Chain A
Amino acid sequence: MTDMRVPAWGWWLMALGLAGFVAMLAITIRRNRGVRRSLYAWPYTLWMVVFTVLPLILIAYYAFTDKAGSFTLENFANFWDSNRAMKNDLLRQGFDPNALGMGARGTVNVGTLVYSVWMAFLCTVISLVLGYPAAHIMADREFKLGATIVVLFIIPMWMNFLLRTIAWMSLLEDNGLINTLLQGMGLPKLRLMYNSQAVLLGMVYNYLPFMVFPIYNSLSRQDPRLSEAAMDLGADQWTTFRRVTFPISMPGIVSGITMVFMPSVTTFFIPRVLGGGNTEMFGDLIERTFLTADDWNVGSALSLIMMVLILLSLGLLRKVDPEGEGGSLI
């Protein structure tokens, strides 16, 4: 595993942010009477500036500059053709990429992006299909175990997600728990790990709660008299669900989709552990570009493209649910 070291100035920045945060909080509390309420927003604003706005500016700066620091769009060209930098190097060193059979456009970056979006889409759909009924059952007032299940969903989240993901390995391995059981029953072993399905499983497992809880929230807040009224007016169960319950839970669904899609599309590490590094997702690609290939400029361009993509999909969701909770995340 890569040992992420924060450079000294990073600590400074964090200390500064934290100090500012605490100071603002202290000052606000000291004169908490007769103070304009907007003051309360200050710590958050400062926090956002230091940890969101400044890094964003840095990323944009790196994305549009070359190693020497002058403006360029080359990094985005590199995204489109992942072989571009190599071909330029070859030409500079007096080789003809075409003659070497290395002249084709590199599809690594675009392909990885498409793959990541596809995986995130699958993960979101599966989470929705699994999560909606679960949330519905949990929110049912007649169902006494609802609260227990909520707790059961939360408890695993107290553990670090890396640990939870690694734990899956001992279940899925060739000599893991599942295959040992299968073998014990006289059944053939299955190849469960080191493929895309295992990665998808890991993603659904990790992100499912983010789908369940928003939907659970919007369903449990729902006034039970609404569906009672629908029933009184002659609607059957299905019609009540379709015309009353489901539309009311829409904000929860939109919020759930956002909260699952965003981390899914930027997933990294899971493909390396459960996928055995056989397929990279966009998060892995960005990580490798920064940490192994040492190319902060292309890495930043990739990050920027990812962010634009997420913003676009959020905008799309807003269209679906104009006043919904989904957009309130950013």
Chain B
Amino acid sequence: MKKLLIVLLAAAMLLPLLPVQAEGVVNVFNWEDYVNPEALELFEKETGIKVNYMRFTTNEDMMVQVRTNPAAFDVVFPSDYVIERFVKEDLLMELDFAQVPNADNTLEWLKNPSYDPDHKYSVPYMWGTVGILYDTTRVQGPIDSWQVLFEDTYKGEVFMLDSIRDSMGLALKYLGYSMNTQDPAELKAATDLLVKQKQDGIVKAYQVDETKDKMVAGEGILGVVWSGDAQYAINLNENLAYVVPKEGSNVWVDGMVVPRAAKNPENALKFIDFMSRPEIAQMNCEYIEYSSPNQAAIDLMGEEYLENPNLNPSQEVIDNCEFFHDIQDRITIYNTLWAQVKNAK
């Protein structure tokens, strides 16, 4: 009896290892609200591979998790500058593009991106911009500059992003600096601006995924959001509009990568290929409302996509924006300055 019990217990202890090592599984680590759930179902139905889907809120949080336990994930969706960082840290697997034929659908200008210059480690999933979502019925005057985020007019009515690079980046841009500056004096100036904005009572809250729904509900006048969240909110509340400020902003790409330590790399490639299939990319794009890096999907969506400036910003807007790059050894400085902003009283 006792022996049987021990055997059973030993078997039970192995259980937690099964899901990650079984053949029919792919462990996906993606952003919150960033996929059409139907696409995952279709993938499971078609391939018989079970999708073990996990979510994160900011790049920084995700980086910690992937570094701590890279073997837990088969496909991860980091942004450009994080891909750059991961490549430097040698965390990513070179993709076997023969198994990802649909990667050919990628837009020309994203085929050899600066964060993955030889196009070895990533397939773009979505791209977009950072800008201001605003309530057209309650703003005074035109909204076309980051300036409005620092004006008393909107005291207590501004939602900021609780995300280090995005918030520091827009302050830098407003001051006329690069979002990738390595100059501590410029970072200090941006911090001072954000601290003052908070001390003046302009900021209502620092949040990430909550802002879009709060803006739909009319809880704020201005909100800093990613373009897809903006489009989602605009679809639900026609009084909202989105603008990429004239000082320029951040343009970003989220790619799909496979950690070197992934346990199911074959399934990971199947998943990436499936996500890059035109119909599936279209499905996701129409569901989460970000810009598609997939030419074939764009062709399927046609006019409606091409004529929406939030989804398909003009070349002028894109040229005015910057990609984030890895900030290397300035990370502690960024973190410390951001903590000062968050704790300013």
Contact = CB atoms under 8 A, between A and B. Distances in A.
5 contacts: A19-B13, A277-B342, A290-B64, A292-B164, A294-B60
Given A89-B332, A275-B205, A293-B60, 17 more contacts: A8-B71, A15-B16, A19-B12, A82-B336, A86-B332, A90-B333, A93-B329, A106-B339, A173-B217, A173-B219, A174-B218, A175-B217, A278-B198, A278-B205, A280-B342, A293-B339, A294-B63
Interface string B27-69: 0000010000000000000000000001111101101110111
Interface in B13-35: 13, 15-17, 20, 32
Interface size grouping (class) on chain B: 35 or more
Q: Which 10 A-B pairs have the closest CB atoms?
A: A276-B205, A11-B16, A277-B206, A86-B336, A15-B13, A19-B9, A7-B69, A293-B335, A294-B64, A292-B60
A5 B58 contact: no
B260 interface: no
Nearest to B341: A108
Contact of B345 (A15, A106, A279): A279
What is the predominant secondary structure among interface residues of chain A facing chain B? loop
B230 interface: no
B144 to A, nearest CB: 26
A106 to B, nearest CB: 7
A112 B343 CA distance: 8
B207 interface: yes
B63 to A, nearest CB: 7
Contact of B54 (A3, A8, A276): A3
A3 B345 contact: no
A82 B206 CA distance: 21
Contacts of A218: none
B156 interface: yes
Contact of A1 (B6, B32, B217, B333): B32
A27 B9 CA distance: 13
Contact of A85 (B203, B206, B336): B336
Contacts of B54: 3, 5
A280 B343 contact: yes
Given A2-B56, A8-B72, A23-B6, A292 B184 contact: no
Given A2-B57, A194-B205, A278-B198, A106 B340 contact: yes
